[in-house]
Structure 1
Amino acid sequence: MTSQASLTAAAPLLRPSLALPLPLRFALRELRGGLRGFVVFLACIALGVAAIAAVGSVSRAMTDGLARQGQSILGGDIAFTLVQRQAAHDELRFLEHHGAVSEIASLRGMARLPDGSDQALVEIKAVDAAYPLYGTLKAAEDVDATAALNAGRALADPELFTRLGLKPGDEISIGATRLTLAGAIADEPDKLATGLGFGPRLLMSKTALEATGLVQPGSLVQWSYRLRLPHGAPDSAVTSLTDTANEDFPKAGWQIRSRDDASPGLKRNIGQFAQYLTLVGLAALIVGGVGVANAVGAFMEVKRPVIATLRSLGAPGRLITQIYLIQILLIALIGVAIGLAIGAMVPVIALRFLADVLPVGAQTGFYPGALAYAALYGLMTALTFALVPLGRAGDIAPTALFRDGAAYGKSRPRLAFLGLAILSAAVLAGLAVLLAYDRRIAIYFVVAVAGAFLLLRIVALVVTALARRAPRARSAEWRLAIGNIHRPGALTGSVVLSLGLGLTVLVTIALIDGNLHRQLTQSLPDRAPSFFFLDVQNSEAPAFIDFLKKEVPTGTVESVPMLRGRIIALNQTPADQVTPAPDVAWALKGDRGVTFSAEPPKNSRLVEGEWWPADYAGPPLVSMEAGVARGLGVKPGDTVTVNVLGREITATIANLREVAWESLAINFVMVFSPSTFAGAPYSVLATLSYPGGAEPAREAALMRDTGKEFPAVTAIRVREALDRISSILDQLMLAIRVASSIALAASVLVLAGALAAGHRQRLYDAVILKTLGATRRQLLYAFGLEYGLLGLATAIFAVLAGSLAAWGVVAGVMKQPFAVFPVTAIAAALIAVALTIGLGLAGTWRLLGQKAAPVLRNL
């Protein structure tokens, strides 16, 4: 059997002058017959490319939104932030000399109903008359927001109205005063700059804040000074002002941000989250690569008579390979184009529906860079997985015309093509690393994928070997099922590889999700404090602790002094010139809580160095958390310089501690010797732990009584804080689960393609067995057993590999206890078995109805 196109085009083979255009001409003629057999190929490439393109486009839309709205998000062209102190007179005059200045105070507080029956933690933001320098503050009701603040009233997030059952015009108690709520905040232009906290926003004027009495020496208040430069000031003016401020006030201790980096934390989070989703999309694409290999292999089998005909007419193997390589690349381009079209449309739809929940205004657009990356990934994946089966095309001999394809064994791929496939895979891995936001994570991903492919290959070989050595079963159906697993041309390798990687990704995500929720909702509250109390003034700390002991006689009360400080140098090297380990880079960003103590803190143990004597009064010493210290490259004997309350303090590292952070007990990265902060104003951080936990009603009553006795104290109920974190985690994990389901969808497509590739051999099996007397029920049972055994083997691997990967993330990266959830393992097994049996029998059912005579004639 030969194709008309092959016979028509045979004559030009005798003319060497036309050899160069022949591969493309043949490839285009072959494609006239359509893309039958390449549906899975196209779907796999399109699915992976669409996922990567969509993630890249959405992240670019958000980062571009940050850049476009930098002034509004920051609240100025440049912002100077101080902790626990306001700007000095000369510092403020310096800022006012360069433009309009707006002063903003941010702190936590408790909003209470006037009768004290209920309260809620709020993030207070006090603004001056110049606020906002950029953007517009809007209230949900028909209220002039600026006029309301100037009149001494307040605005609040809608969440606070819902939480306390309030409405516009109602009063709330804040500290020592009462405020009238004018309305709900509809648009706060600089919300990201002042940070997102554990409670709803409460917006008031600076005058109203002074009346609350919350600002005391040592209070945890953040003061931000936004500066609006003259209209049209270039970026160079911002850079120059930053340098001048650091030179003129080297010990100010302020953190400076500019309009081109208005929210570095959000930008970093967008980049990291986009990378995780991109890697999941790339995993889906690589899973789809298995489908590409299966589809190309099946295509080569179908084209065997055509190739044999061309070889019999004198076509060299090189020409055959070129023809079909061009075809594969053209088909891959079609799949990439489909994926890019979907990926470009997804952000338009997604951003429209998510506009109300996104933290920054993201405008849809066309992002050629993100689409180009996705296209490059798609083409490289198609090429990598197509090379090995293509390498067999040139070895098909003319004798294949006289031998049936089902009985014709597969030849080994040429070493040259195997080498090219390995080189292409290395290029693909290099792209994944070079284009990643965090290259360390990307390297882990590449190693994990390579390891998964190797292990899946080993699993397939082990399953085949076990089936070959299995004792002879009495049941004919069992003998047929086991025989199908280890015979030549079996589907074992394809099924295990097709389903294994996607299912492993799904198990990994499910276990990480389960462990994080377990830590937040089950394990931690049992041993964690019930309350954290902030802003307890040093002068009222004894009375407050006595109050807690009186209210909860059986409870455990702990308290420590607390200040805020920022690391500005390590061993006299400025912090911005230090390259920390990625997992501790946060220690050099912004302010950290610090304390001082004569004794080692609880829930920690010394691992290096010695603690100072209880009566130590010498030069400043500091104890650092061991992991952070090692990540920063410091050890006992080195020095750390911190800026606290505008004062630079250089302390020698005396020892390193390991801290049990999961206990949620009071602890700090840096603990100083007591004499370090002699005479400095500070507040007290206190915790209260109920023996065996407390009922919500008792906790609410304690919060109410605390508010009456100590209105300036901020009470944070750990249960509420964990619920808020859990809610945020749910949203993040939902996005990750959706992305991981793409990898599983690719696995299903590949599995369907692998089963379809074995269609011809299954047809011969079914016809011969029916001719020998087998019934349709027996064949369905035998095939179902085969698919079920393969699915079970794949599920066992996925559970083991997924558990290992999740353990590495949870225990290795997050440093949290790890637990395996049996339900997840059972669900993975059921999914794998159901998919393999369902898809396998769906294709087999149609084969069982085929007439025997047409098939037997070709044997």
Structure 2
Amino acid sequence: MMASGDSRRDTRRIPGNGLHWLGLAARGLKRDLRAADVRALFVALALAVAASTMIGFFLDRLERGLTRQAGQMLGGDLVLEQGEPFSSELKSTLREAGMTLSDQVDLVSMISRGERFQPASLKVVDSAYPLYGASRVDVGNGVEPLARGPGPGEAWVDPRLESLIDLQLGDEVRVGRTTLTVSGIIEREADQSGGFSSFNPRLMMHVDDLAATGLVQPGSRIEYEILAAGPPAAVSSLDARLEALKRDGVEVRDVRVDRPGLGRALERAEKYLALAGLAAVLLAGVAVAMATRRYVDRHLDTAALLRCFGASQRQLTRLFALQLGWLALAASVCGALLGLAGQAGLLALLTAFLPLELPPPGPLPLALGVLTALAVLVGFAGPTLLRLKRVSALKVLRRELDPLPASAWLVVAMASLVFGGLMWLYSGDLWLSVALLVGGLVMLVILGGVGTLILSGVLRLAALLPQGAHGASSTRALRLGARQLGRRRQASLGQLLAFAVTFAAMAMIGLVRGDLLTAWQDQLPEDTPNYFAINIQPQERDAFVETLAGAVDDRTALYPMVRGRITALNGQPPLEAVPESGRGSNALRRELNLTWRDTLPEGNRLVAGEWFAAGDRVSEAEASFSEAANAGGVGATEPSDEIVPISLEAELAGRLGLGLGDTMSFTIGADTLTGRITSLRDLDWDSFRPNFYVIFPPGVLERFGHTYITAFHLGDEQSSLPGQIVKNFPAVSLLNVEAILGQVRDLLTQVTRSVELVLGFVLLAGISVLYAALIASRPLRAHESGLLRVFGASDRLISRVQGAEFAILGLASGLMGALLAELAAAGIYAGWLDLAPRLHPWLWIGLPLGGALLVGLIGHGLSRSLRRQTPMASLGLLGEA
């Protein structure tokens, strides 16, 4: 590290102050930067910081940006809804928390133009609408984006309403007691959602006109909404108040609740990005551990020389800790700048595909990056550095007095604790971190045993290869490479494990990426239904099916639908029976769509209980008897065989505190019907297919008035079909959800781009491990190549021997990495990402071959300079100080 004169001069001042030690460490580090291992150590630390800060910055901004864009489907980051006006005190609380508010009112009324009448859903908005995005409206100059709603005295209508009562721009429509001028045709609303709270065509108006309509009367069925937008910190600060509102019966929605499939996609993307950051940090840590070993070996003589000049163990520890501290500081600054530039580059590339407005980065990822560098240095390099303080002064005279290396288990335990802490910090899930850490340690033990067997097998296979002049030169090189690898067992095993972990981490990130993309693509395939047909009358059913049969390739079944309201749970009023957290459920305040089926609907999965058996189908007479038994009221007691079986959606059951065997009473018109839960179902709400909370067996609901609903996909070539349906079936309501599909697809595409771009950075971190490991073994390989040169080996043979050794090492590491990647991915899928574990057969072929190629190329390239050295220079590298 330093000449003896420098050491003598510096150690005379060993008792000096802290500034002296800082200067001494800085000068030593400056000289050390010429060494390959120190450069590898610097690169690994900088890469760890760059990975954590870049992904931290990127994740922080992307999470807020994607959540904000997803919130456009609801109209805000939060949506509060209830049947009466919200208090001014609540609005003040939301504004003080940093939220921007927009008031809305939803109601249904009859509107008219001349002698034509039509029920319509009225959406009443204020001047702050919309909080996010823009509506696409034709106000006379073609469809254009407008970040506002209609003004006072104006109305915007959707194409369905325009067609049903033959409206044109400038016409007047009567809404209640007032008249409004049609000033816009809505193609897409800024906050259009995929729910079916109303099946009527839409009219949007300004809140200043609501009083003049006279529609707000005592007993009117009106929904009042507050749309709130603000930073995540503001939303989080309202958690306690929002929970209280839920207990008071207020429905509180956000994108993860209202669009659960989309919410899961966002959550999985965030977890993947955090996982990618952890993988990059792990790989950088392995590279630090490999480079530190070589660093310590080079400085043993320097440490012994300093001990001769009177340095104590404590002073040695301080000197080398400060030297590496300077290195960590420089790497942190460099890595932080790279991370900041990298996330800007990622976002620039991402927004080149899809425009995405993101908030500026915050300071937290930068602090986490510096903390990560220090943690990686302490955890992965600390135990190895302890050798320097235990060096004896006699090592100057006797080279065999090297201090014993740190126990492998000590290094692994220290690194595991640090990495486990980082994993907890990044994932926020303590039990997952503990499970992965324990599982990883168990796998290391297993891989250690597997690696030992592989090295023994390599030696045995090498012995079976032809020897001497009768063997081909390639076979001879393969035999010599395998023998060198097998004889150097301890060093080879360390490299084998390091490379296996590297390949496993790189493969796991690739596997998760591929399976996430598959899950998202399966969520919205190309033939996803983009039209819903609602209010199909029973007498029109066959004719409607015939109309679709010749024009639509893919449609769902026609589901009968009856509207019913929950009036009792287990014989008690709903608000008294459900847990406090479920009192704000919208299912308790609105009529639900009920249906009947003899088979489990497509996209439904039973999670508890059994589907209806043939004996469960209730005849009309039995149903009438059950109804008569229930006529005594909500609390009436009925024999269990007079209660019909029902199937309930599992998530709603959880919110309402219901399970198998519990009863639910519904009011349908003037009648009451009670059902007992015999099965629970899991639904895919984002499949854009008809889904139902409650399903009855056949023979129960048929006597009630009902209509049918179906969904189907229309391509551009079938654009005339909606007009034909509206003309031939005027009572049928067509709901076009293509705009919603487009929003969801755009959002998932943005998430996909971010996932793909981050994968490349993890691959970079993996290459840094290979570089550090091969640099660490450079002197030993130089010694071996020098010996071969002494015994007459040609440059060509030495090149082939080294290539064969690296290829075998990469092949074996790839096999072990495939095993580790499959097990780790299965654990992460089941415990964190909520994906079904799956096997990846191609991994067992691609990873070993890829490992052999990658390690072979990098190792062969780094060894080129050694092959050009004289035997004396190569042999001297083994004892380089």
TM-score normalised by length of structure 1: 0.71
310-319 vs 647-656, which moves further: 647-656
CA distance in structure 2 between the partners assigned to 1:735 and 1:695 by the alignment: 31
CA distance in structure 1 between the partners assigned to 2:867 and 2:757 by the alignment: 37
Question: 1:377 aligned to 368, 372, 381, which one?
Answer: 372
* Residues matched between the structures, number: 773
Indicate whether 1:411 and 2:410 are aligned. no
CA distance in structure 2 between the partners assigned to 1:30 and 1:707 by the alignment: 83
Which letter does structure 1 place at the counterpart of 2:251?
Q
* Partner residue in 2 for 1:576: 581
Q: Deviations over 1:697-724 (max 9, x none)?
A: 9977866754553465447799x99998
1:841 to partner: Cα distance: 0.7
* Partner residue in 2 for 1:166: none
Whether the aligned pair in 2 keeps the contact of 1:569 and 1:641 (CA below 8 Å) is no
Q: Deviations over 1:458-481 (max 9, x none)?
A: 443333232233351224312221
Q: Summarize the Cα distance change of 1:722–1:411 in structure 2 as closer, same or farther, 3 Å threshold.
A: farther
Whether the aligned pair in 2 keeps the contact of 1:347 and 1:364 (CA below 8 Å) is no
* Partner residue in 2 for 1:31: 29
* Partner residue in 2 for 1:537: 535
CA distance in structure 1 between the partners assigned to 2:388 and 2:667 by the alignment: 70
* Partner residue in 2 for 1:838: 857
Q: Summarize the Cα distance change of 1:177–1:512 in structure 2 as closer, same or farther, 3 Å threshold.
A: farther
* Partner residue in 1 for 2:461: 470
Indicate whether 1:505 and 2:509 are aligned. no
1:755 to partner: Cα distance: 0.8
Superposition map of 1:330-729 within 5 A? 330-347=326-343, 361-365=357-361, 367-402=362-397, 411-413=404-406, 422-423=413-414, 425-434=416-425, 436-439=427-430, 441-443=432-434, 445-447=436-438, 449-450=440-441, 453-472=444-463, 473-474=465-466, 475-488=475-488, 492-515=492-515, 531=529, 534-537=532-535, 540-549=537-546, 551-552=548-549, 557-561=557-561, 572-574=577-579, 576=581, 595-597=594-596, 599=598, 601-602=600-601, 607-608=608-609, 611=612, 613-615=617-619, 616=623, 617=626, 622-624=646-648, 635-638=659-662, 653-656=677-680, 668=692, 670-671=694-695, 684-686=708-710, 706=725, 708-710=727-729, 712-714=732-734, 728-729=747-748
Q: Deviations over 1:593-623 (max 9, x none)?
A: 7534374534656853685552453668643
Whether the aligned pair in 2 keeps the contact of 1:508 and 1:805 (CA below 8 Å) is yes
1:843 to partner: Cα distance: 1.3
CA distance in structure 2 between the partners assigned to 1:813 and 1:258 by the alignment: 22
Whether the aligned pair in 1 keeps the contact of 2:617 and 2:698 (CA below 8 Å) is no
1:391 alignment partner, SS class? helix
Q: Deviations over 1:267-291 (max 9, x none)?
A: 9976764443123112211111111
1:396 alignment partner, SS class? coil
* Partner residue in 2 for 1:286: 282
611-620 vs 755-764, which moves further: 611-620
Structure 2 segments unaligned to the other structure (5+ residues): 93-100, 109-120, 170-181, 207-220, 467-474, 631-642
1:838 to partner: Cα distance: 1.0
1:497 to partner: Cα distance: 3.7
1:770 to partner: Cα distance: 1.4
58-67 vs 292-301, which moves further: 58-67
CA distance in structure 2 between the partners assigned to 1:610 and 1:663 by the alignment: 22
1:58 to partner: Cα distance: 4.0
Q: Deviations over 1:161-183 (max 9, x none)?
A: xxxxxxxxx99976665667999
1:807 to partner: Cα distance: 4.3
Whether the aligned pair in 2 keeps the contact of 1:49 and 1:340 (CA below 8 Å) is yes
Which letter does structure 1 place at the counterpart of 2:561?
P
CA distance in structure 2 between the partners assigned to 1:663 and 1:74 by the alignment: 18
Indicate whether 1:735 and 2:754 are aligned. yes
Q: Summarize the Cα distance change of 1:327–1:713 in structure 2 as closer, same or farther, 3 Å threshold.
A: same
Which letter does structure 2 place at the counterpart of 1:833?
A
1:294 to partner: Cα distance: 1.3
* Partner residue in 1 for 2:173: none
* Partner residue in 2 for 1:5: 6
Whether the aligned pair in 1 keeps the contact of 2:278 and 2:426 (CA below 8 Å) is no
Q: Summarize the Cα distance change of 1:784–1:358 in structure 2 as closer, same or farther, 3 Å threshold.
A: same
344-353 vs 26-35, which moves further: 344-353
Q: Summarize the Cα distance change of 1:696–1:104 in structure 2 as closer, same or farther, 3 Å threshold.
A: same
Which letter does structure 2 place at the counterpart of 1:597?
W
* Partner residue in 2 for 1:326: 322
Which letter does structure 2 place at the counterpart of 1:226?
I
1:444 to partner: Cα distance: 5.2
1:129 to partner: Cα distance: 6.5
343-352 vs 97-106, which moves further: 97-106
CA distance in structure 1 between the partners assigned to 2:77 and 2:689 by the alignment: 40
Q: Summarize the Cα distance change of 1:145–1:371 in structure 2 as closer, same or farther, 3 Å threshold.
A: closer
Q: Summarize the Cα distance change of 1:671–1:439 in structure 2 as closer, same or farther, 3 Å threshold.
A: farther
1:846 alignment partner, SS class? helix
* Partner residue in 2 for 1:55: 55
Q: Summarize the Cα distance change of 1:278–1:241 in structure 2 as closer, same or farther, 3 Å threshold.
A: closer
Indicate whether 1:803 and 2:851 are aligned. no
* Partner residue in 2 for 1:298: 294
* Partner residue in 2 for 1:44: 44
Whether the aligned pair in 2 keeps the contact of 1:149 and 1:205 (CA below 8 Å) is no
1:19 to partner: Cα distance: 10
**CA-atom RMSD in angstroms:** 6.0
CA distance in structure 2 between the partners assigned to 1:137 and 1:50 by the alignment: 37
129-138 vs 34-43, which moves further: 129-138
1:654 alignment partner, SS class? strand
2:600 alignment partner, SS class? coil
CA distance in structure 2 between the partners assigned to 1:280 and 1:235 by the alignment: 27
* Partner residue in 2 for 1:775: 794
Q: Deviations over 1:116-152 (max 9, x none)?
A: xxxxxxxx99554656276896879899876878797
CA distance in structure 2 between the partners assigned to 1:147 and 1:517 by the alignment: 37
127-136 vs 48-57, which moves further: 127-136
Indicate whether 1:206 and 2:204 are aligned. yes
Which letter does structure 2 place at the counterpart of 1:103?
Q
1:9 to partner: Cα distance: 3.1
TM-score normalised by length of structure 2: 0.69
Structure 1 segments unaligned to the other structure (5+ residues): 108-123, 157-169, 209-220, 579-584, 689-693
Whether the aligned pair in 2 keeps the contact of 1:565 and 1:642 (CA below 8 Å) is yes
* Partner residue in 2 for 1:309: 305
Q: Deviations over 1:505-542 (max 9, x none)?
A: 343344344445556768997xx99758635216x244
2:427 alignment partner, SS class? coil
Indicate whether 1:132 and 2:125 are aligned. no
CA distance in structure 1 between the partners assigned to 2:283 and 2:33 by the alignment: 21
CA distance in structure 1 between the partners assigned to 2:185 and 2:823 by the alignment: 48
CA distance in structure 2 between the partners assigned to 1:237 and 1:816 by the alignment: 31
Q: Deviations over 1:622-643 (max 9, x none)?
A: 4335698689975323467999
1:782 to partner: Cα distance: 1.2
CA distance in structure 2 between the partners assigned to 1:515 and 1:813 by the alignment: 14
Whether the aligned pair in 1 keeps the contact of 2:508 and 2:822 (CA below 8 Å) is yes
Whether the aligned pair in 1 keeps the contact of 2:161 and 2:202 (CA below 8 Å) is no
1:755 alignment partner, SS class? helix
Q: Summarize the Cα distance change of 1:648–1:328 in structure 2 as closer, same or farther, 3 Å threshold.
A: farther
Superposition map of 1:76-95 within 5 A? 79-81=79-81, 87=83, 91-92=84-85
Whether the aligned pair in 2 keeps the contact of 1:171 and 1:178 (CA below 8 Å) is no
CA distance in structure 1 between the partners assigned to 2:757 and 2:163 by the alignment: 42
1:333 to partner: Cα distance: 2.4
Q: Deviations over 1:68-108 (max 9, x none)?
A: 999999869985436xxxx5xxx25978998998436699x
